[in-house]
Structures are given as structure tokens and as C-alpha cells.
């Protein structure tokens, strides 16, 4: 009997253990419905302390990323190479810190270490880090900090590090930013903001975006008296010995004409410290009201959005115009006119006072569809602030069931990137049809993922401009079969709902180009292959002799064709197509005046739209207006969707989605990525206007405003001159390749264009056409000569400059030419600003 009692006792103990521990162990049920609530953020936060200044709030990632791919902050370190890591633990307990320092340019680790002893005297955990690796001054390195919790969970944090062996004047720069910030609130006596503004009265109609050109009245908040709700920690975005770019994000609250409102505020400063004096090069402050449904204007039947820079809230309505959804502050809202219920469908905000984590705005929502029953398909993409995917970056497809007030998770696609880059690489339009096929574009590839079979196909691998278009209203994708080596022979128009496709083919010895889309129409053109030529700067040009506007069925609506006149570029702006044209004279093409085509769109008035009102105190504020004739009976009833239903394992992976992606250039300015372009020259010009930085999709810094040395000379090992079958361009290519450690006989250099020749020998040549001399000197500063055209047929190699002059070698004369900066600017401007170099 004693064995029976022992066995019975063990069985009872086992059952009790299952019950007790089962309450604390999360479960995943595949094939059965599981309701998951979005728990509050649990991850710790990190701040860094340099020279007694707290800077750079870092958010954690669940998965390990390439530290060279994250450009959220730059941490400057001095001669001792030391700084403090301050950890706010939140719900997790930190047991260990690991760090890894990476040479971004060579993609290798140069130093690592582990710390398990922390200073806990201030209520946080502080670790003192000293990076003892050999580092080049004023060079960016990637730093990964990994925290291990008491549950053995690893959380990764990223910053870039810049080392200086002399004073980089962090104190002076941050002191100025702090004083200017306080002065805007009237808290810095003796500090006159007027001394640093360049007021021109260009736009004093809104508080949503004020800058160095605004009036002091707007800089100091007009008639508002905002109260700070959160701490204001500076994040260093760029830093050189003289200049720094600093961002501050914080929340304020103020009383307005309609009640008490909360705002997210972002400040961006670009400052320079030299000869003992600080200069404000640029200042910008943006302001976004946090949507509060209790501020609804029932008298006007409008939802108040408030002060905002946003022109599109992704407002979507059902076909019967009785249901509406919109995105605000990274949250999805749904309104039913028949019941006057307003429901928050999706939000990461679980704690209304956790401004740093819950309100972290590195994600967005895209509404795909809303039907007459109020069911919504939508995508959440970017950094996930909380929940099961906290700390991950990805794309999640959800479906909302309005009757059940329930969200169903259908797809989760994890990615190894940042939100800033993802918003540039995730196509503008995606769609899920009734056959459970999800269409989307990512890294210039278009995918069709069958949710039922869990299989995906790649529709096209070349969805860049000129090869791909979206007919959003017609729910169609259009793409060509062009490759980097061959022009397209046909285009495909795919109806995403019916999955029916139509093909338009070019004639023999001709090719076809996708030129854009207007409303539900596609714009394409035909090219005679014999007309394809290289431009002055070596770009491959495919001149279109006939332009077609067709509907989604392929039926032609309009044609444009003029004898001996060709279209080399189109820009679609609303219902106008701007045409850049050339005329063929003999075998040559000469630029002629632009032309345009107007194509009537479906301009039916929107039932739900953004409207603006102006008041003396708040200036311009925005509202969502409801359909004409609809009158709210009272304040809307507000509800919230709290649970996400998971009925199966929704995760799917794409094999190396970034592999073989086309060269792309990202413009970093004002604290984030402001745009991207496939042309390096265009990206550099945009970055220069915005006082920013250009990076490519391989994590290389391509160009940096204010980043070049005062002077530099690139030695030319073999000054090649024109002789026999060696032209001035071949001579310059030979010398450029030598600088890149490539040796090839100048006479053997052959290719369809200058860029084609360079691509045979080096992986990253860049066409800098259109850039100014001042802009291209950054490459000479980095030790790379620049090929420049001094006229339509002769090339020279720029290899030296100082504070007053520029020098180049001319292979046609075999001599060096030196010219003043202003003189060189005018000289190469007259030649068309044609430049080529490499990274």
C-alpha cells in the first residue's frame, strides 16, 4: 500500500505542478484559435552617457541585425574610448551585457567583450564600456550591445560609434541645443532666439512645422503654453568635429479651443562650432496632435485631427460610404455611420503615459480594403512596440471582423532591416484577394503569397521605375520582362482579384517600357532598338517613339506619336503626363521643349476627406469631414479591439529578399530617412538641400554634407594621355580604375556605356551627373578621383582641391589644370555637370 500512496502522492504533485506552472507558461496552439492580447512593452531601454551627457535612447530588437544597417544614432567617443550604458530594465531583469564593434566598410568585427557587473546606485543598471580596438578617427563603426535577461532572452541594441582623439566639442553643441529648446518655452533668460533665426515670413500659418525661417512668435509656440509630459533626451544623428545634427522627441500638453490636447513634438538642430562660436545652421520643429475621439466636433460632424503635417490619413471607405477607416499616430480607427460607433481596431499604445516605448513611432499601418460590412484588411509594418513580436521588424497582414470586433492574424513576415529603410523598400500598394492571395512588392520584387497553400511566387524581379506600375483603383499590377542586360519585349497587366493577366508585346526589333499609371490606366511606350543610345554621361537611353494610355483590360484610350520626336522621360502628376523629349537629327538626338498630355481621371468627390480650419490661437488644424448630409446625433460611442486571433502558424520567410536588389540610395536628414533614389546624383542633390547624408543599400556612406576635408589630393599612378585608340574617356577610366586598385590596359576597355565598363571591374561605380563641383569633391576628399566632362566629347580627371581651388588632369593635353572654386563651378556647369566616380 505504501507504494500506492507514494504513487498517488506523486500523481497529485504532478497535476498540481501542471496547474501552477501552466498559468505562467505561454502556449502556442497551431490549428486552433488562440486569443492574444497586446501586452504592454516589456523590453528594457538604453541611454548612453558621454562626457556626463545623457544621449541616444536605444530601443531593443528581438533578432540580431546587421549593425551597419541601423542608423538610429551616432555615439561620439574621445581619446579614452569610454562611455556609460544606462539600462532601464522595465519588466525584465538584466544579467549580462555583451558588445561587438564592427568595421562597417570591411564588414568584420574588430572588438568584443562581456560585462556582468553593474552600478545600481541610481535605480538603473549602468555599465562602463571601454572600446580598446584600433579605430580610425572620424570614421563610423557599428556597435551592437546585447542584453541577456534572467530568462536567457537576448535583446539587441544598435548605435554607430565615431572616435576622435581630439575635442569634438560635444559640450558646446549640446549646451546650445538645450538653451535654444528652453528658450522656446521662455525658460532661458538672457538667450535671444532672434540672433539665430533667419525669419522670412514664408509660412506662419501653422504650428505643425516651424523652422529657422519662421517668426519668433511661432518658434515660441504662438499663444500656446505647452506643458512637458516626457523627458527630452537628445539623439545625435550626425557628428563631425565642427558640425552636429541633433534630434529631440518629446510630448507636451496644452489647453486648446476644444479641450486639453497632447502632441508629439520633434526638434531637429544642425549646429556648427568653430573659432569659439556656435552657429545654428538649421532648426525644424514638427508637431503632431495625438488623436482624441472625445474632441469630436458633433456640431460640424467632424473628427478632430488637430495640428498635423499629414495630408493623407489613409482614409478608406466602403462602397456604400457608410463605413470608414483611417490611420492616425500609428493606430487604426473604424467608424460606422449607422451606429455612430468609433472603434480603435489596432494600437500598440497599452499605457497612455508610456510615451517613450508605447508611443514609439517606428511603424505604420496600410489599409488594403474595407467592405460594406465594415470588415477591414490591413497591414502593420515596421518595428513592433509590444506583444508577441515585440522588438521585431516585419510585415503583418491582419483581417478585422467588425461583427465580432476581432482581429485575425493572417501573415507574419519577419525582416532584418529597420523601419526607416522598410518604408522605402515596401511597395506603395498591396492587396489580398478573395482567393487568399496576398500581393505585395518588396526590394523591387513583386510577390504573390497564397495564404492557404503557404507558397509564394515572384511575379517580377525588376519592379523599379520604368518596369513596374500599380493601377490601384483597378486593383492591377503592371510589369515588363526587362532585365539589367536586355530591354523588355512585353508587359503584363494582372488583375489581382480575378488573377487574369493580359500581355502587350512589342514588334520585332522593338522593345516596350512601362512609363507610369494614371488612375485606372497604364502608360507605356514603344522603342525601336536601333534608336537606343548612350547619353553624354554614359546612361543607356531608350527613346519612346509612341506613347500609349490603356485601361486595365489593355484597351487603348489615347496615343501620342510625332515624327522624329522621342520621349526619354515621363513624369506623371495627377492627371497630367509631363514629357521630356528629344528630336532625331540624322543619327543624333537633340533635346527639345517639353510637352504634356492631360488624361481625365475619375475625380468623384470624396465622401470622407480632410478639411482645415484656422483659429487665432491654434492656427491651422485638420478635421475628417463626414459625407454631406450626415449629421451626428451625439458623441460617438468609443470601443476598443483588445485581442488578436491566431488560428495557425502565420510566419513565412522569403529567402534573401535583399539579395540582388538594385543599387539604391537613401537620404538621411531631419532625424530619419526622407527619401530614396536609384540615382546617386539625384540622392546627393536632395541630401545637400536637406543638409543630410546619403547611404546605399550595402550600408556605405556615399556622401555627407559637411563631411569632406578642407583639402585633399589623390595621387595618379599612371597619367594616361590620348593616343591611338585611347580616347580621353578611356584614359580617365584607366586612371580611375588604377585608383580603385584595378589594372587594365586603357585600349582594352570596352562596353556599351561608361558605367557598363566600370561595372566589369568594380562593384560600385556611381553616376554623379547633375551634382555640383562642391558636392562631388566629397569623393576626392575620400581618396577617389572623379571623371568630369569638360565638353560633349572630352573627359578630365579631378584629383585635387583646397579651400580656394580645384585641379584636374587633362589626358588630351597631358597637363594639369588649376581653377578657382567659383571658376570650376561655372566651367563644369556649362558642360552639363557630368561626373562619374565610385564608392
Span of 3-12, 47-56, 134-143, 309-318 with lowest mean pLDDT: 3-12
Of 142, 163, 184, the residue at which a domain comes to its end is: 163
Residues 595 and 467 in one domain: yes
What pLDDT does residue 484 have? Answer: 74
Does residue 509 form part of some domain?
A: yes
Note whether 159 and 207 are same-domain residues. no
Q: Work out the pLDDT band at 32, boundaries 50, 70, 90.
A: very low
Domain assignment of residue 643, yes or no: no
Domain that holds residue 150: 45-163
| Per-residue pLDDT tens digits for 161-190 | 999 999 999 999 999 999 999 999 999 988
210-248 pLDDT, tens digit each: 999 999 999 999 999 999 999 999 999 999 999 999 999
Q: How far is CA 133 from the centre of its chain?
A: 32
Cell reading at 792: 560633349
- 749 within some domain: yes
183 and 285 share one domain? yes
Which stretch of 134-143, 448-457, 479-488 has the lowest confidence by average pLDDT? 479-488
Comparing 76-85, 367-376, 653-662, the range with the smallest average pLDDT is 653-662
Return the H-helix or E-strand segment holding 12: helix 2-22
pLDDT tens for each residue of 716-756: 988 999 998 899 999 999 999 999 999 899 999 988 788 88
**Residue 52 CB burial class (10 angstroms; 0-12, 13-18, ≥19):** exposed
* Domain closes at, from 289, 319, 335: 289
Grouping H, G, I as helix, E, B as strand and the rest as coil, residue 428 is coil
Residues 597 and 478 in one domain: yes
Flag whether 628 is in a domain.
no
Contact between residue 523 and residue 577 where contact means Cβ atoms under 8 Å apart: yes
Residue-wise pLDDT tens digits, 334-354? 999 999 999 999 999 988 888
- CA-to-CA distance for 702 and 766, rounded, in angstroms? 9
Single out the residue of 400, 419, 418, 402 nearest to residue 410, CA to CA.
Answer: 400
Residue 784 lies in a domain: yes
Q: Three-state SS string across 754-804, please?
A: HHHHHHHHCCCEEECCCCCHHHHHHHHHCCCCEEEECCCCCEEEEEEECCC
Do both 142 and 64 map to the same domain? yes
Q: Global pTM?
A: 0.91
pLDDT class of 833 with cuts at 50, 70, 90: very high
Higher pLDDT, 337 or 572: 337
- CATH number of the domain enclosing 743: 3.90.70.10
Same domain, 119 and 212: no
Reported as a single tens digit per residue, the pLDDT across 787-809 is 999 998 899 999 999 999 999 99
Domain match, 483 and 582 both = yes
Closest by CA position to 608, among listed 629, 624, 630, 631 = 624
Confidence of residue 333 (pLDDT cuts 50, 70, 90): very high
What mean pLDDT comes out for the span 709-718? 92
In a domain, 25, yes or no: no
> Domain with 516 in it: what CATH number?
2.40.128.660
* CATH code of the domain covering residue 123: 2.60.40.10
Asked whether residue 830 falls in the same domain as residue 786, the answer is yes
3-class state of residue 528 by DSSP: strand
The phi, psi pair for 22, rounded to 5°, reads -65, -25
Mean pLDDT score of the chain: 91
Segment 494-507 shows an average pLDDT of 95
25 confidence band (pLDDT: 50, 70, 90): very low
CA gap 761, 742 in Å, rounded: 7
In this structure, the answer to whether residues 788 and 822 fall within a common structural domain is yes
User: Where is average pLDDT lowest: 13-22, 43-52, 773-782?
Assistant: 13-22
| Displacement of CA 814 from its chain's centroid (Å) | 45
Tens of pLDDT along 399-415? 999 999 999 999 999 99
Tell me the residue ranges of DSSP E strands in 80-217.
82-88, 94-103, 108-115, 125-130, 140-149, 154-163, 209-211
Q: Decide if pLDDT at 30 tops 70.
A: no
Structural domains of the chain, count: 5
Cell triple for residue 765?
Answer: 561605380
pLDDT at 322: 95
Check residue 290 and give its pLDDT: 97
How far does the chain reach from its first CA to its final CA, in angstroms? 83
Residue 738 and residue 691 share a domain: no
Residue 647: predicted pLDDT: 81
Q: Is the dihedral of CA 161, 167, 173, 175 positive or negative?
A: positive
Torsion of CA 159, 163, 164, 168, to 10 degrees: 0
Asked if residue 585 belongs to a domain, the reply is yes
- Mean pLDDT (whole number) for 535-546: 81
Percent of the chain clearing pLDDT 70 (strictly above): 95
pLDDT for the residue numbered 31:
38
Quote the pLDDT of residue 762.
Answer: 92
List the Cα angle 231/420/683 in 5-degree steps: 120
d(CA 745, CA 514): 39
Residue 490 lies in a domain: yes
Q: What is the pLDDT of residues 585-643, one digit of tens each?
A: 988 899 999 999 988 766 666 789 999 999 999 999 999 999 988 999 999 999 999 88
Could you tell me if 196 and 236 lie in one domain? Answer: yes
Are 153 and 219 contained in the same domain? no
Measure the CA–CA gap between 603 and 136, rounded to whole angstroms: 58
Chain position carrying cell 568584420: 108
Domain end, chosen from 106, 139, 163, is at 163
Answer yes or no: is pLDDT of 16 > 70.
no
pLDDT at 11 over 60: no
- For the segment 650-673, the average pLDDT, to the nearest whole number, is 87
Amino acid at each position: 500500500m505504501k507504494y500506492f500512496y507514494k504513487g498517488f502522492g506523486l500523481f497529485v504533485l504532478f497535476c498540481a505542478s501542471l496547474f501552477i506552472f501552466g498559468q505562467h507558461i505561454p502556449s502556442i496552439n497551431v490549428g486552433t484559435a488562440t486569443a492574444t492580447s497586446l501586452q504592454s512593452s516589456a523590453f528594457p531601454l538604453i541611454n548612453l552617457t558621454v562626457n556626463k551627457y545623457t544621449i541616444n535612447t536605444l530601443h531593443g530588437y528581438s533578432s540580431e541585425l546587421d549593425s551597419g544597417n541601423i542608423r538610429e544614432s551616432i555615439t561620439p567617443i574621445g581619446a579614452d574610448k569610454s562611455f556609460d550604458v544606462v539600462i532601464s530594465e522595465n519588466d525584465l531583469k538584466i544579467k549580462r551585457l555583451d558588445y561587438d564593434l564592427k568595421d562597417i566598410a570591411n564588414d568584420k568585427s574588430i572588438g568584443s567583450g562581456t560585462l556582468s557587473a553593474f552600478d545600481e546606485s541610481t535605480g538603473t543598471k549602468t555599465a562602463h564600456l571601454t572600446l580598446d580596438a584600433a579605430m580610425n578617427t572620424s570614421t563610423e563603426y557599428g556597435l551592437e550591445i546585447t542584453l541577456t535577461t534572467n530568462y536567457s532572452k537576448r535583446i539587441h541594441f544598435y548605435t554607430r560609434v565615431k572616435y576622435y582623439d581630439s575635442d569634438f566639442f560635444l559640450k558646446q553643441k549640446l549646451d546650445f541645443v538645450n538653451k535654444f529648446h528652453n528658450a522656446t518655452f521662455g525658460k532661458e533668460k538672457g538667450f535671444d532666439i532672434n540672433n539665430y533665426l533667419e525669419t522670412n515670413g514664408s509660412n506662419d500659418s501653422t504650428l505643425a512645422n516651424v523652422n529657422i525661417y519662421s517668426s519668433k512668435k511661432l518658434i515660441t509656440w504662438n499663444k500656446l503654453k505647452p506643458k512637458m509630459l516626457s523627458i527630452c533626451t537628445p539623439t545625435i544623428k550626425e557628428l563631425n568635429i565642427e558640425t552636429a545634427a541633433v534630434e529631440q522627441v518629446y510630448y507636451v500638453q496644452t489647453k486648446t479651443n476644444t479641450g486639453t490636447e497632447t502632441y508629439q513634438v520633434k526638434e531637429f538642430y544642425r549646429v556648427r562650432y568653430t573659432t569659439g562660436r556656435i552657429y545654428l545652421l538649421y532648426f525644424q520643429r514638427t508637431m503632431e496632435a495625438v488623436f482624441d475621439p472625445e474632441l469630436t466636433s458633433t456640431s460640424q460632424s467632424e473628427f478632430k485631427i488637430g495640428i498635423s503635417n499629414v495630408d493623407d490619413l489613409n482614409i478608406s471607405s466602403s462602397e456604400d460610404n457608410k463605413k470608414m477607416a483611417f490611420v492616425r499616430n500609428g493606430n487604426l480607427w473604424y467608424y460606422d455611420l449607422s451606429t455612430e460607433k468609433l472603434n480603435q481596431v489596432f494600437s500598440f499604445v497599452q499605457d497612455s503615459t508610456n510615451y517613450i516605448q508605447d508611443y514609439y513611432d517606428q511603424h505604420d499601418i496600410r489599409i488594403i480594403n474595407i467592405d460594406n460590412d465594415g470588415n477591414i484588411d490591413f497591414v502593420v509594418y515596421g518595428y513592433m512596440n509590444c506583444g508577441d513580436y515585440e522588438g521585431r521588424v516585419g510585415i503583418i497582414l491582419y483581417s478585422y471582423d467588425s461583427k465580432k470586433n476581432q482581429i485575425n492574424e493572417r501573415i507574419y513576415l519577419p525582416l532584418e532591416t529597420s523601419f526607416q529603410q522598410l518604408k522605402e523598400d515596401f511597395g506603395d500598394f498591396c492587396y489580398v484577394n478573395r482567393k487568399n492571395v496576398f500581393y505585395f512588392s518588396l526590394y523591387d520584387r513583386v510577390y504573390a503569397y497564397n495564404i492557404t497553400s503557404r507558397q509564394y511566387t515572384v511575379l517580377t524581379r525588376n519592379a523599379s521605375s520604368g518596369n513596374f506600375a500599380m493601377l490601384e483603383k483597378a486593383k492591377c499590377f503592371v510589369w515588363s520582362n526587362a532585365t539589367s542586360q536586355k530591354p523588355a519585349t512585353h508587359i503584363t497587366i494582372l488583375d489581382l482579384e480575378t488573377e487574369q493577366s493580359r500581355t502587350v508585346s512589342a514588334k520585332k526589333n522593338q522593345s516596350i517600357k512601362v512609363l507610369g499609371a494614371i488612375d485606372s490606366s497604364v502608360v507605356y511606350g514603344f522603342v525601336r532598338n536601333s534608336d537606343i543610345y548612350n547619353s553624354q554621361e554614359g546612361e543607356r537611353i531608350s527613346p519612346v517613339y509612341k506613347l500609349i494610355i490603356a485601361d486595365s483590360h489593355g484597351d487603348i484610350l489615347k496615343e501620342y506619336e510625332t515624327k522624329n520626336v522621342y520621349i526619354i522621360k515621363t513624369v506623371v502628376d495627377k492627371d497630367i503626363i509631363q514629357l521630356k523629349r528629344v528630336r532625331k537629327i540624322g543619327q543624333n538626338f537633340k533635346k527639345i521643349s517639353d510637352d504634356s498630355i492631360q488624361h481625365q481621371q475619375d475625380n468623384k468627390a470624396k465622401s470622407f476627406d480632410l478639411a482645415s480650419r484656422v483659429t487665432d490661437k491654434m492656427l491651422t488644424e485638420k478635421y475628417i469631414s463626414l459625407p454631406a448630409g450626415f449629421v451626428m446625433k451625439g458623441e460617438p460611442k468609443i470601443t476598443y479591439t483588445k485581442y488578436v486571433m491566431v488560428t495557425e502558424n502565420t510566419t513565412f520567410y522569403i529567402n534573401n529578399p535583399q539579395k540582388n536588389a538594385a543599387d539604391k540610395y537613401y537620404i538621411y536628414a531631419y532625424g530619419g530617412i526622407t527619401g530614396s533614389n536609384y540615382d546617386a546624383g539625384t540622392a546627393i542633390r536632395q541630401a545637400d538641400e536637406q543638409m543630410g547624408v546619403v547611404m546605399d543599400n550595402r550600408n556605405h556612406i556615399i556622401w555627407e554634407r559637411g563631411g569632406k576635408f578642407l583639402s585633399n589630393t589623390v595621387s595618379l599612378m599612371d597619367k594616361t594621355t590620348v593616343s591611338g585608340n585611347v580616347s580621353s574617356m578611356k584614359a580617365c577610366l584607366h586612371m580611375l580604375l588604377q585608383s580603385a586598385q584595378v589594372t587594365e590596359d586603357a585600349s582594352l576597355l570596352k562596353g556599351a556605356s561608361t558605367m557598363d565598363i566600370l561595372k566589369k571591374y568594380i562593384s560600385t561605380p556611381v553616376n554623379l551627373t547633375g551634382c555640383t563641383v562642391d558636392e562631388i569633391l566629397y569623393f576626392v576628399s575620400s581618396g577617389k578621383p572623379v571623371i568630369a566632362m569638360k565638353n560633349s566629347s572630352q573627359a578630365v580627371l579631378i584629383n585635387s582641391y583646397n579651400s580656394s581651388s580645384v585641379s584636374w588632369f587633362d589626358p588630351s593635353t597631358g597637363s594639369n589644370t588649376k581653377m578657382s572654386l567659383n571658376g570650376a563651378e561655372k566651367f563644369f556647369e556649362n558642360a552639363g555637370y557630368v561626373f562619374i566616380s565610385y564608392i
